[in-house]
Chain A
Amino acid sequence: MAAKPGSAPVTYSPNLGQKTRPPIFKDNDLDWVRPDGRGFHQCRPAFFRTGAVNSASGSAYAELGSTKVIVSVFGPRESKKAMMYSDTGRLNCNVSYTTFATPVRGQGSDHKEFSSMLLKALEGAIMLETFPKTTVDVFALVLESGGSDLPVVISCASLALADAGIMMYDLVAAVSVSCLGKNLVIDPVLEEESYQDGSLMLTCMPSRYEVTQLTFTGEWSTPDINEAMQLCLDACSKLGKVMRTCLKEAASASQE
């Protein structure tokens, strides 16, 4: 919606070149510090809050560093007319980005695969047979993208589902690890993700110790994969505790 009719001027950001940092981790460069000063195996502090959106059946807000997401859950409600009859419930997921989520305006729409990955990560944890013939909609909006967006969306979505009272076997916690040369860094920020040689994301149900989704891309060696998975599992169980505390706080606040 341009202010002047009939003209769509070409614009550019004055923030031209990316800050050029020399290639990292090429030669056992262990002096390198993470942009936010964390240790390699240290996650960002996580903040969760349920009940962010009143008009939804359930919702949650999550903030890890500069990554900020909101997830709303609607339903269970009538499935679309075109849907075939189904004995079990359906899950419908959508992830979208705000235009100001990324440093360059309007770059965040390039995540079509996130919606289906979110669906696959949650599906296994939800008791779909408890809402036959209906659909539960899970919609996520990334307000600011600061790295590890999908894991944050998944963890936040499982909290929103719990807030909506959808029956689940357990909460779903998700953590990703980036492989930079010979080093593994957990919970990477945007800058680290842009340099990574490979990435691994693990989503699991912490108290059942069951993995719902495991994806990796890029170059990996077998020992690295083992180490990364163990890192993720440990981090997920810790994240799970934070999420559980958030739910307990919300429940005790509503009782008072």
Chain B
Amino acid sequence: MCFFPLFRSKENRLTMGLPNASGDLSTEVEVDAFRRLFPLRFYEKHLLESIRPDARPLGRARETTIALALAKIGSTTMLAAIKMEVMTPSLETPDEGCIAIDFHMPPICSPIVRPGRPAEGAPVVAKQLSDTILSSGMINLKELSLVSGKAAWMAYLDIYCLDADGALFDTALLSAVAAFSHLEIPVVSLNDDGKIVLSEEQGLSDREPVNKEKRKINLSSVPFSLTCVLHKNYILADPTAEEESIMDTIVTVVLDSSSQLVSLHKPGGTVLAYTSAIQDCIALTRQRVKELQKILEEGISGMEVD
């Protein structure tokens, strides 16, 4: 398999060294070399034992935290922000607002992104996010209306990836959901020029605000997702960047809070997924949704106490 005797001998020593890799520095260095040279075999050795290099069982996701609109799964970090601006609604939908979703991968997030050109996966994630959020029915666009036919909110949702280590879509969706659940809409009124302005700042406090009640957006069915990597018969939930690059078949399942399927995404890959594999992915996602719901609730209530 390998033409270089140097590599082969190292590898042989490794197979002996692996089971008791504790404390011995020389063994550790060689494990690292083996991991870099034969990443797939390195992983397969772990998969046989039903464990992953970061000590997770195959179906377990990484530690997840939410603070305001910052979501962290393992070391993957996403920051989302919503800016509300006013627009004139289109003629076909006079009493609906609009949501514009953008996903950014600035060069700080990963060694493979260089300034000047967009990151490879970013447009895919952006499209997926946009499709998921708009089709899940999480937000009723009618709630974003201000004056029918005249003015409605345009919500610009921008998600920035601050640290990329796999499962980008899952983390981005989580931060987007967190951002919407914290969103507070300012009180606005119509001024004499027919423009919508902030009530307090323009001294129009005496005038009847146009959005007296609609200060929070009701999230009806919140979408949550889980990305899995397929390799042979193994299913690895919530992959790291390394796992995603070595085993290239990815399945992303999005379920809403009542466990209804919102979307299922399998962009090709070398492994053909059988029905059973897809069903297993969905089952894993169902468990994950429960976890995420709890984490999100804790994140929101934690903020309200402060």
Residues of A within 8 A of B (CB): 1-4, 7, 9-17, 19, 52-56, 59, 70-72, 74, 77, 94, 96, 98-100, 105, 137, 139-141, 143
Contact = CB atoms under 8 A, between A and B. Distances in A.
Interface in B109-162: 109-111, 114-115, 126-127, 130, 134, 154, 156, 158, 160, 162
A93 B113 CA distance: 14
Contacts of B88: 9-10
B15 interface: no
Contact of A141 (B83, B106, B111, B202): B106
B130 A1 contact: yes
Contacts of A141: 106, 108, 160, 162
Contacts of A98: 79, 81, 104, 106, 158, 160
Contacts of A140: 108
Given A3-B101, A19-B201, A9 B164 contact: no
Contacts of A11: 85-87, 154
What secondary structure prevails in chain A residues at the interface with B?
loop
Nearest to B80: A100
A9 B87 contact: yes
A60 to B, nearest CB: 11
A143 B79 contact: yes
Contact of A55 (B85, B98, B110): B110
A129 to B, nearest CB: 24
B198 A105 contact: no
B196 A14 contact: yes
Interface residues of B, number: 47
A34 B170 CA distance: 43
Interface of B: 75, 77, 79, 81, 83-90, 98-102, 104, 106-111, 114-115, 126-127, 130, 134, 154, 156, 158, 160, 162-165, 186, 188, 195-198, 201-202, 241
Given A9-B87, A14-B196, A15-B198, 12 more contacts: A3-B134, A9-B89, A11-B85, A12-B85, A13-B83, A16-B195, A17-B201, A53-B162, A54-B163, A55-B111, A99-B158, A139-B107
Contact of A70 (B81, B89, B108, B158): B108
A140 B196 CA distance: 36
Contacts of A3: 98-101, 130, 134
A140 B162 CA distance: 11
Nearest to B187: A14
16 contacts: A1-B102, A3-B98, A10-B87, A11-B87, A12-B195, A13-B85, A14-B86, A16-B201, A16-B202, A55-B110, A59-B108, A77-B111, A94-B115, A98-B158, A105-B83, A143-B160
Contacts of B186: 14
Interface centre among B81, B100, B107 (most CB of A within 10 A): B107
B75 A54 contact: yes
